[in-house]
A and B are shown apart, each in its own frame.
Chain A
Amino acid sequence: MLEIEIDGKQLQVPDGSTVMEAASKVGAYVPHFCYHKKLSIAANCRMCLVQVEKAPKPLPACATPVTNGMKVWTHSEQAVKAQKGVMEFLLINHPLDCPICDQGGECQLQDLSVGYGGVESRYQEEKRVVGNKDLGPLVSTDMTRCINCTRCVRFTTEIAGLMELGQAFRGEHAEIMPFVEKTIDSELSGNIIDLCPVGALTSKPFRFGARAWEMSRRKSVSPHDSLGSNLVVQVKNDVVKRVLPLENEELNECWLSDKDRFSYEALNGEERLTRPQIKQGGKWIEADWPTALEYVANGLKSVRTEHGADAIGALASSHSTLEELHLLQAVVRGLGSDNIDFRLRQTDVSADAHRAGLPWLGMNVTEIGALDRLFIVGSFFRKDHPLVAQRVRQAVKRGLKVSVLNPVVDDWQFKIDSKIQVKPSAVVASLLAVAKELAQKTGQALADVFLPAAAKIETDAAASAVAASLASGKQVAVWIGNYAQQHAEASRIEAVAQEVARLSKGKFGVLGEAANTVGGYLVGSLPAKGGKTAAQMLAAPLKAYVLLGIDAELDTQAGQRALETLGKADTVIALSAFKSESALAYADVLLPIAPFTETAGVFVNTEGRAQAFYPVVKAAGDVRPGWKVLRVLGQLLGLDGFDFDKVEDVRKLILGAEQQPERSRFNNLVTVESFALAAPVTGVERIADVPIYAADPIARRSAPLQKTRDGQAPALRASVSTVAKLGLEAGGKAKVKSLSGAVIVPVVADDGVVDGSICLAGAHADTSALGGLHGEVSVERV
């Protein structure tokens, strides 16, 4: 510890602290622009100059290390003179037109100029003008306002992992710019808007939408990925104007992914469903809530009477709230059916019967920082979990070694220590090879159940490298990602991954697919007594379906086939915030339920943390919160246990007084009773990712997100040699055929995809005709 005196206050700080850190501890505010606690020190703005005893000139607080016995004055005459001098320089070329700047009212430069700026400028010469840059659909530029603090440059390099911005040219001609003709394509790009201390980088969708002081700031929780980022939703006149991060060091830190930040645009869009509608004689008519719900209740009752309760099934989105998921399964079970599921993109859920508890990450996300080995199996990690990947990226810089097993190794923007890249049907065998190598290297025995299969496989150098890495770790974790869970052999992957974790004495974790995947398990929104899984419900038609918050052809693995199946049902009741062409075709009743901004609810994130949120705006039109709709439906059906007055009552029923799930319920252990490898597949296999902005109904309707690179229509990606072998041409088009249908898509050569397979995204209208997300396909040139 070091002794330091700041503005007359004594304190002790740890070795290696800077004066800035020490000053913030005693509450002495040192003005600054380039300094940011999460970024490297640049010391270029020079605003934080302070007086230090024995130093001949003022020193920057951000970059000056504390030495024992140091005396610092942050507001002495010398310090303030230096700070005012710097402020004058910052302002001479900065436009002094705050009233027409989008940052006005929330601008660090504007705020500090009140304290440190002059009344009028001594600079009488011509001001610098800097051309604007096209950074893509999310970030707007006003580069003349830039003060070259390089926060954005450091963010893209250090946090997002790829230098997408740089400072070109010298001196007064210095400009922040992307590479020539490039846009910012990072999935974390929106954070540079928050980081920019002036109005140089602002939000393109929000631009000139409102003034900072006109909006209320309301807390919320992201409904997208399974991290559960904390949000500040800014609202004006009951309209969501923009979304900012709410700092939570344990989850999203001070960042947000672009999906969390810009998806709100969908909430104010044209596709919102605002009135209950009933289809009668093939025509849609608007109805009031009592009529619509009466109609629904009668429909369900008559199906049960005529066909039995088992003819009723429900599919829920894993982006629904905990209350909605609970009440939906209560309605279904109250009717006497067990056909309920929320894992709509999964086909192999045979592990259900063997689970010891609820699957979860197996650790808190803050513990990622302490890992030294991490093995990620089956994941489009960076796009599926942008901010978890960011944490891993920082840990990699501190020495974490990451191994990967995936058919596609795309750029995660951090160093991958060892990788295994195999075709989808070889994932299980390759994982088993890792387990086999690991057992050998650590002198442990492979569990008996795996021995016969393990005896049949050859291990290779890649498996050995991964095993060696895991064997040498002290804090190991093995995670299975969304792709592994959606894989046709998901339960086998899970079984072997768990064995790898056991052999490496590490933690086994299941990366949650969506905002409330853990919540879905928690409330039992899945078949428990032999009911049908999502895949089964969509394979053969039932008589009645209740859909909660989904676009049936995009949020399920069945794709177009889901529409056919639903089309054959007697009644389909869709509870949704949005309407769509296909829903208008297959549904009989559309009930407008509130998206996360208009309802109260709870999301349980991948680490099992329940986070409650409340409405931030008034519901649009006749929209009602899903939990209220399901409550009334339960009551109309004459079911018990639907007498709730408040959302808190539902919550208490699920979570107890603590408002958190019981920790003892989380357990990733799956008992493996038998294990055998599947028959080899010889044809061309499809690998389907779920593109980041196609993953849920809100994100896929956000216009700005759809304009980004990640929002572009799916293309067939295959390695250069595979493209040649299949007789395709990069840049040309290909016809991809599955058992269900065929699509024509553009071809892109991408050596990140394993040879012999193709990567073609799911969850998109362009590819939904193919049905499932995986399996053999035939490919031909068109």
Chain B
Amino acid sequence: MSSQGIILSGLDGDRTWRLADYIKRGGYDALKKIIAEKLSADHVIGEVKKSSLRGRGGAGFPTGLKWSFMPRAFPGAKYLACNSDEGEPGTFKDRDILRYNPHAVIEGMIIAGYAMGCERGYNYIHGEIFEVYTRFEEALQEAREAGLLGKNILGSDFSFDLFAHHGYGAYICGEETALLESIEGKKGQPRFKPPFPASFGLYGKPTTINNTETFASIPYIIREGGDAFLALGKPNNGGTKLFSVSGHVNKPGNYEIPLGTPFADLLEMAGGVRGGRKLKAVIPGGSSAPVLPGAVMMDCTMDYDSISKAGSMLGSGAVIVMDDSTCMVKALERLSYFYFEESCGQCTPCREGTGWLYRVVHRIENGLGRPDDLDLLNSVTANIMGRTICALGDAASMPVQSFIKHFGDEFAFHIEHKKCLVPQDVQREGSKIYVA
């Protein structure tokens, strides 16, 4: 964990997750400022808009804009939800935020609740990181005892309750409407949109859902101003962002850097490619983002626009680095298995298609590929993409399409020669580094 930023900074000490430690780092100053200066909801949303903060969950939707969609004069309950259902391969930033800096998320949610007039919030935490859930519960308890949560926060007439809710590890519950279904106690399956959560969300009430990192960025924006946050990054790509660097690097981990930092710098921070091997490919934004060849990646800067221009997505910022010992067919087989396993089974194309994709890739990897398999894969992905209720179908298709697009020759070799283009000994050589 390393930081040039705002969320992870100051987390080198012991028990940084405690309220006292957070307050020492300037925590809850933003909230106190809002309460003391009686800042209007419009002002708060205005600052968030100014900051150009974009959703850190993967879609990169401007947060201020999302907040302004919430109906102001709605009579009755409105809800806030934090999406900490971090389950995509390669992504591990939110759990570190919750583990080391939970109060930043709590403060961010309280401020969001204030700005949107929500009286109640839920933090939906992925079921496979249970110790994070228990730690967050402790943090909530601290906040409640300090009068930061509950009725009449800090003596004002603003009340906000926040609850932790853990899932059971289903990837699909990270889809915001499936997440809402899950909180409601139902099977986690995405809802058809429209209606969108801003008009018909949790229990049918207007609801805003943001990512953990998004909420954790809010206190800084309010404390230092939206402009200060924007200045950390580059235009339209405000602030710093956490990147979960994994794969074939020497120092995998979370790195918080300003948006717009060159990929090469990030790679260097992560200690470079392991064993000094050659960079082969990078998935820049979590396993659902299209893969990019290493050379393309080295010319990119780490921000939404640059990665998008290169043909992929910044997504959640999970950077999966692959060196030249990687068999791309094997890598895709693993990814396809994930989507096959995690499809919710609701929509026909995804339910049936993800299994088909996996089986064909599996067949190719195992030397049973057929000449027209690549056309078949491309055709099946085209039939899945854009035909489903949620984006899981797209998420399953994009890796397949991009792997074939950039590394088609490896697939063709596999089909023709019934074995990997990357020789077995090279692959073993790569693995050895960690086996030893």
**Chain A positions near chain B (C-beta within 8 angstroms):** 41-47, 49, 56-58, 60, 63, 65, 82, 85-86, 88-90, 92-93, 122-123, 125-126, 128, 147-148, 166-167, 169-174
> A85-B382, A126-B359, A148-B345 are known contacts; what are 5 more A-B pairs with Cβ within 8 Å?
A57-B386, A58-B387, A89-B349, A89-B353, A125-B363
Do B192 and A43 touch (CB < 8 A)? Answer: yes
Do A46 and B388 touch (CB < 8 A)? Answer: yes
A46's contact among B347, B360, B382, by CB below 8 Å, is which? B347
Do B383 and A89 touch (CB < 8 A)? Answer: yes
Q: With A and B bound together, what is the CA distance between A90 and B353 in angstroms?
A: 9
Cβ contacts under 8 Å, B13 to chain A: none
**Can you list 9 A-B pairs, Cβ within 8 angstroms, ordered by A?**
A42-B346, A86-B383, A86-B387, A90-B352, A93-B352, A125-B356, A171-B343, A174-B346, A174-B351
Q: With A and B bound together, what is the CA distance between A88 and B192 in angstroms?
A: 22
Cβ contacts under 8 Å, A93 to chain B: 352, 355
Asked whether A85 and B345 contact (CB < 8 A) given A122-B376, A123-B356, the answer is no
Q: With A and B bound together, what is the CA distance between A452 and B185 in angstroms?
A: 54
B194 at the interface (CB under 8 A from A): yes
Chain B minimum-CB-distance residue to A149:
B348
Do B349 and A85 touch (CB < 8 A)? Answer: yes
Chain B minimum-CB-distance residue to A83:
B387
B344 at the interface (CB under 8 A from A): yes
B340 at the interface (CB under 8 A from A): yes
Nearest CB of A to B103, in Å: 34
Do B345 and A46 touch (CB < 8 A)? Answer: no
B15 at the interface (CB under 8 A from A): no
B342 at the interface (CB under 8 A from A): yes
Nearest CB of B to A5, in Å: 21
Q: With A and B bound together, what is the CA distance between A307 and B352 in angstroms?
A: 80
Chain B minimum-CB-distance residue to A47:
B348
B172 at the interface (CB under 8 A from A): yes
B354 at the interface (CB under 8 A from A): yes
B11 at the interface (CB under 8 A from A): no
B386's contact among A56, A65, A169, by CB below 8 Å, is which? A56
Cβ contacts under 8 Å, B387 to chain A: 46, 49, 57-58, 82, 85-86
Q: With A and B bound together, what is the CA distance between A89 and B349 in angstroms?
A: 6
Cβ contacts under 8 Å, A58 to chain B: 386-387
A44's contact among B172, B382, B389, by CB below 8 Å, is which? B389
Cβ contacts under 8 Å, B389 to chain A: 43-44
Chain B minimum-CB-distance residue to A169:
B345
Q: With A and B bound together, what is the CA distance between A448 and B383 in angstroms?
A: 76
Q: With A and B bound together, what is the CA distance between A86 and B342 in angstroms?
A: 20
Chain A minimum-CB-distance residue to B379:
A122
Chain B minimum-CB-distance residue to A64:
B194
Nearest CB of B to A730, in Å: 31
B44 at the interface (CB under 8 A from A): no
Chain B minimum-CB-distance residue to A92:
B352
- Lowest 9 CB-CB distances: which A-B pairs, in order? A174-B345, A85-B383, A57-B386, A171-B343, A89-B352, A43-B192, A172-B355, A125-B359, A171-B345
B30 at the interface (CB under 8 A from A): no
Do A46 and B348 touch (CB < 8 A)? Answer: yes
Chain A minimum-CB-distance residue to B382:
A85
Cβ contacts under 8 Å, A147 to chain B: 348
Nearest CB of B to A165, in Å: 13
**Chain B positions near chain A (C-beta within 8 angstroms):** 170, 172, 187, 192, 194, 340-356, 359-360, 363, 376, 382-383, 386-389
Of B194, B348, B360, most buried by chain A (CB within 10 Å of CB) is: B348
Of A45, A122, A128, A147, most buried by chain B (CB within 10 Å of CB) is: A122
Nearest CB of A to B302, in Å: 27
Chain A minimum-CB-distance residue to B191:
A43
Nearest CB of B to A448, in Å: 47
Cβ contacts under 8 Å, B352 to chain A: 89-90, 92-93, 172
Cβ contacts under 8 Å, A92 to chain B: 352, 356
Cβ contacts under 8 Å, A89 to chain B: 348-349, 351-353, 356, 383
A170's contact among B342, B359, B386, B388, by CB below 8 Å, is which? B342
Asked whether A44 and B353 contact (CB < 8 A) given A58-B386, A82-B387, A122-B376, the answer is no
Do B383 and A148 touch (CB < 8 A)? Answer: no
Q: With A and B bound together, what is the CA distance between A89 and B353 in angstroms?
A: 6
Q: With A and B bound together, what is the CA distance between A300 and B37 in angstroms?
A: 102
Chain B minimum-CB-distance residue to A94:
B352
Asked whether A170 and B356 contact (CB < 8 A) given A46-B348, A58-B387, A86-B348, the answer is no
Cβ contacts under 8 Å, A126 to chain B: 359
Chain B minimum-CB-distance residue to A49:
B387
Q: With A and B bound together, what is the CA distance between A58 and B354 in angstroms?
A: 20
Cβ contacts under 8 Å, A86 to chain B: 348-349, 383, 387
Do A63 and B192 touch (CB < 8 A)? Answer: yes
Asked whether A173 and B345 contact (CB < 8 A) given A44-B389, A92-B352, A125-B356, the answer is yes
Asked whether A171 and B340 contact (CB < 8 A) given A86-B387, A123-B356, the answer is yes
A171's contact among B187, B341, B382, by CB below 8 Å, is which? B341
Do B345 and A172 touch (CB < 8 A)? Answer: yes
Q: With A and B bound together, what is the CA distance between A167 and B389 in angstroms?
A: 17
Chain B minimum-CB-distance residue to A173:
B345
Cβ contacts under 8 Å, B383 to chain A: 82, 85-86, 88-89
Do B349 and A172 touch (CB < 8 A)? Answer: no
Of A41, A44, A82, A93, most buried by chain B (CB within 10 Å of CB) is: A44
Asked whether A170 and B348 contact (CB < 8 A) given A82-B387, A88-B383, A89-B353, the answer is no
Cβ contacts under 8 Å, A85 to chain B: 349, 382-383, 387
Q: With A and B bound together, what is the CA distance between A42 and B189 in angstroms?
A: 11
Cβ contacts under 8 Å, B341 to chain A: 170-171
Nearest CB of A to B195, in Å: 9
Do B187 and A166 touch (CB < 8 A)? Answer: yes
Nearest CB of B to A430, in Å: 37
Do A170 and B192 touch (CB < 8 A)? Answer: no
Cβ contacts under 8 Å, A171 to chain B: 340-345, 350-351, 354-355
Cβ contacts under 8 Å, B354 to chain A: 171-172
Q: With A and B bound together, what is the CA distance between A122 and B382 in angstroms?
A: 15
Nearest CB of B to A413, in Å: 19
Cβ contacts under 8 Å, B345 to chain A: 148, 167, 169-174
Do B347 and A44 touch (CB < 8 A)? Answer: yes
Cβ contacts under 8 Å, B346 to chain A: 42, 44, 148, 174
Q: With A and B bound together, what is the CA distance between A281 and B155 in angstroms?
A: 100
Nearest CB of B to A231, in Å: 34
Q: With A and B bound together, what is the CA distance between A46 and B351 in angstroms?
A: 11
Do A170 and B349 touch (CB < 8 A)? Answer: no
Do B172 and A170 touch (CB < 8 A)? Answer: yes
Cβ contacts under 8 Å, B376 to chain A: 122
Do B356 and A41 touch (CB < 8 A)? Answer: no
Asked whether A170 and B343 contact (CB < 8 A) given A88-B383, A89-B383, A125-B356, the answer is yes
Q: With A and B bound together, what is the CA distance between A170 and B354 in angstroms?
A: 12
Cβ contacts under 8 Å, B344 to chain A: 170-171, 174
Nearest CB of A to B386, in Å: 4
Asked whether A46 and B349 contact (CB < 8 A) given A58-B387, A170-B170, A170-B172, the answer is yes
Nearest CB of B to A521, in Å: 47
Chain A minimum-CB-distance residue to B383:
A85
Q: With A and B bound together, what is the CA distance between A123 and B380 in angstroms?
A: 10
Cβ contacts under 8 Å, A170 to chain B: 170, 172, 341-345
Q: With A and B bound together, what is the CA distance between A65 and B170 in angstroms?
A: 30
Of B342, B349, B351, B354, most buried by chain A (CB within 10 Å of CB) is: B351
Q: With A and B bound together, what is the CA distance between A58 and B382 in angstroms?
A: 12
Chain B minimum-CB-distance residue to A128:
B355
Q: With A and B bound together, what is the CA distance between A624 and B359 in angstroms?
A: 65
Q: With A and B bound together, what is the CA distance between A174 and B341 in angstroms?
A: 11
Cβ contacts under 8 Å, A173 to chain B: 345
Q: With A and B bound together, what is the CA distance between A89 and B348 in angstroms?
A: 6
Nearest CB of B to A34, in Å: 9
Q: With A and B bound together, what is the CA distance between A65 and B196 in angstroms?
A: 13
Q: With A and B bound together, what is the CA distance between A42 and B348 in angstroms?
A: 12
Cβ contacts under 8 Å, A65 to chain B: 194
Cβ contacts under 8 Å, B382 to chain A: 85
Do B348 and A172 touch (CB < 8 A)? Answer: no
